[in-house]
């Protein structure tokens, strides 16, 4: 599998010479795999505890890749970035623990829409914790993004969904995990990153999964295997995308997630989110796209000034 994993980016490089187009292709495929994972996970969480489903998904994902990555010994997955892997593991476990709780009670399209708020939380964190100067235009985009969230969650109605609030709480944690992954991807291959992500997730989720453990049926074991494989392939593809494009660019392609989520909602569960979810998603997409644009402008301006010096 390692050689196949190594060859796939090279094959796509010959087919799609443009780095941007290649990164977008990886991100689009990753989005489809992730929404397939979410559909399977939501199905399983109707019968099994959510944290057990998350743990089981990581176990089966690890069993999918470990025999191939470790067949030549430990050397292929040796890492020089363990502190960052551990930090990412903490963010990832907390974020996706909440994620699996949330998808029990909301449509996948609504979960995807709320997941679009990642860049908004990154902007807030940069201003509050890193002392980054944020101009009024980006603050306006942040406020617009939260207006989109309010349209989706609708806290002024009696139908306020606590699962939507759980999804919203997980977003800054998963955004932090993605930022750490982007840093690691500059130093290590995708298979090393995914191996350690899977290994640490198995370890970190173990006490959570055992807390309310129920023995899965044979059919449920099969679905857990599907979840593990689709999730692992999604992370391979997303890591490849991060290696060759800016995270802000990759995230814009992630907005297609609501399309895949809506299709899975209809095909698997026979439902879809309400109109307000799609209106709110449009507002959030506009806000986060503007934030990504301002980040790109700031990066180019900074690079130009550095070159002038």
Q: Is the pLDDT of residue 157 over 90?
A: no
Residue 309 has a pLDDT of 34
Residue 13 is assigned to a structural domain of this protein: no
Residue 309 is assigned to a structural domain of this protein: no
Q: Which domain holds residue 92?
A: 2-8+20-299
* pLDDT over 70 percentage in the chain: 82
Residue 90 has a pLDDT of 95
Sign of CA dihedral 200, 205, 210, 213: negative
pLDDT tens digits, 245-298: 776 667 667 778 888 888 898 888 888 778 888 888 888 888 877 776 766 666
Residue 228 is assigned to a structural domain of this protein: yes
Q: Is the pLDDT of residue 40 over 60?
A: yes
* Residue 185 contacts residue 79 (beta carbons within 8 Å): no
φ, ψ for residue 189, nearest 5 deg: -70, 155
Residue 227 has a pLDDT of 93
Residue 218 has a pLDDT of 94
Compute the mean pLDDT over every residue in the chain, rounded to the nearest whole number: 82
Q: Is the pLDDT of residue 201 over 70?
A: yes
Residue 93 has a pLDDT of 93
Region 185-192: what's the mean pLDDT? 85
Number of structural domains found in the chain = 1
* Range picked from 21-25, 163-167, 224-228 for highest mean pLDDT: 224-228
Which DSSP state fits 215?
P
At 158, the pLDDT band (50, 70, 90 cuts) reads: low
Residue 305 is assigned to a structural domain of this protein: no
Residue 50 is assigned to a structural domain of this protein: yes
d(CA 180, CA 77) in angstroms, rounded, equals 18
Of 149, 57, 155, 156, nearest to 111 by C-alpha is: 149
pLDDT tens digits, 82-115: 999 999 999 999 999 999 999 888 888 888 888 8
Ranges 24-33, 70-79, 99-108, 126-135: which has the least confidence = 126-135
Question: What number of other Cβ atoms are within 10 A of residue 26's Cβ?
Answer: 27
* Residue 139 contacts residue 191 (beta carbons within 8 Å): no
pLDDT tens digits, 160-186: 678 888 988 998 898 888 778 878 888
Kindly tell me the burial class for residue 176, based on how many C-beta atoms sit within 10 Å of its own C-beta (0-12, 13-18, 19 or more).
Answer: buried
Residue 92 is assigned to a structural domain of this protein: yes
Residue 306 is assigned to a structural domain of this protein: no
Region 219-245: what's the mean pLDDT? 87
d(CA 138, CA 214) in angstroms, rounded, equals 47
* Residue 46 contacts residue 104 (beta carbons within 8 Å): yes
Of 118, 127, 83, 119, nearest to 99 by C-alpha is: 118
164 is written with which tokens?
A: 């939507």
Which DSSP state fits 76?
G
Region 235-247: what's the mean pLDDT? 78
Residue 16 has a pLDDT of 64
Q: Is the pLDDT of residue 203 over 90?
A: yes
Q: Is the pLDDT of residue 307 over 50?
A: no
Which DSSP state fits 267?
I
């Amino acid at each position: 599998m390692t050689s196949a994993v190594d060859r796939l980016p090279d094959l796509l490089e010959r087919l799609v010479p443009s780095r941007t187009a290649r990164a977008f292709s990886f991100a689009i495929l990753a989005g489809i795999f992730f929404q397939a994972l979410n559909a399977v996970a939501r199905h399983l969480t109707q019968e099994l505890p959510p944290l057990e489903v998350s743990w089981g998904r990581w176990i089966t994902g690890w069993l999918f890749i470990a025999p191939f990555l470790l067949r030549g010994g430990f050397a292929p997955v040796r890492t020089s970035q363990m502190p960052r892997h551990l930090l990412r593991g903490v963010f990832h476990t907390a974020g996706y623990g909440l994620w699996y709780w949330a998808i029990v009670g909301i449509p996948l399209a609504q979960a995807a829409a709320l997941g679009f708020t990642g860049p908004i939380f990154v902007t807030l964190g940069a201003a509050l914790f890193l002392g980054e100067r944020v101009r009024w235009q980006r603050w306006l985009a942040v406020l617009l993004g939260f207006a989109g969230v309010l349209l989706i969650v609708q806290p002024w109605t009696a139908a306020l969904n606590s699962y939507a609030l759980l999804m919203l709480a997980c977003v800054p944690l998963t955004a932090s995990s993605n930022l750490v992954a982007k840093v690691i991807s500059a130093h290590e291959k995708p298979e090393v990153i995914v191996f350690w992500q899977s290994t640490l997730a198995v370890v970190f989720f173990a006490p959570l999964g055992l807390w309310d453990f129920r023995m899965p049926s044979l059919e449920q074991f099969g679905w857990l295997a599907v979840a593990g494989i689709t999730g692992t392939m999604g992370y391979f593809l997303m890591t490849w995308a991060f290696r060759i494009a800016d995270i802000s660019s990759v995230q814009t392609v992630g907005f297609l997630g609501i399309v895949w989520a809506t299709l899975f909602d209809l095909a698997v569960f026979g439902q879809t989110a309400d109109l307000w979810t799609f209106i709110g998603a449009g507002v959030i997409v506009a806000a986060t796209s503007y934030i990504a644009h301002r980040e790109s402008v700031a990066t180019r301006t900074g690079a130009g000034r550095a070159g002038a010096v």
